[in-house]
Amino acid sequence: SIPEPSGQHTPPALAAFYMFWTMIILLQVLIPISLYVSIEIVKLGQIYFIQNDRDLYCEKADSMIECRALNISEDLGQVQYIFSDKTGTLTENKMVFRRCSIAGVEYSHEANGMSLQNKTELV
């Protein structure tokens, strides 16, 4: 047990609990609330620039891009791969890699390409 100035003894687990929360409260002062507010203002500015970017205008739908979350720029920064196809994903919930073209060089997967050519569709 840990002696206190009053002469009482505090169990070590309770003393550790008090010490942990005391440190959390003291260290909270190191990161001011104005930093959090500044980060949110920067996110609002990023959303403003994304929504007003003329390159993100869709002529077909006659609409601009719409941001619905403050963390959109953080999420977009984590995108590494975009997979898309014309059919199959929405109708059959299957996406099979057949081939792709990157900078004019075509890469294909022969086994998947052959199996899709031999597939007969049921009507």
Cα pseudo-dihedral 105, 83, 81, 104, rounded to 10: 10
What would the two tokens of residue 34 be?
């104005």
pLDDT at 78: 79
Which helix H or strand E contains 9, and what residues bound it?
strand 9-10
Sorting pLDDT into bands at 50, 70 and 90, what band is 7? confident
**Domain chopping of the chain, boundaries:** 81-123
Higher pLDDT, 25 or 3: 25
Cα separation values, 103 from 34, 90, 110, Å: 46, 27, 20
CA distance 68 to 76: 13
Q: pLDDT for 40-51, tens place per residue?
A: 999 999 999 988
Catalytic residues: 85
Q: Is the entire prediction scored with pTM above 0.85?
A: no
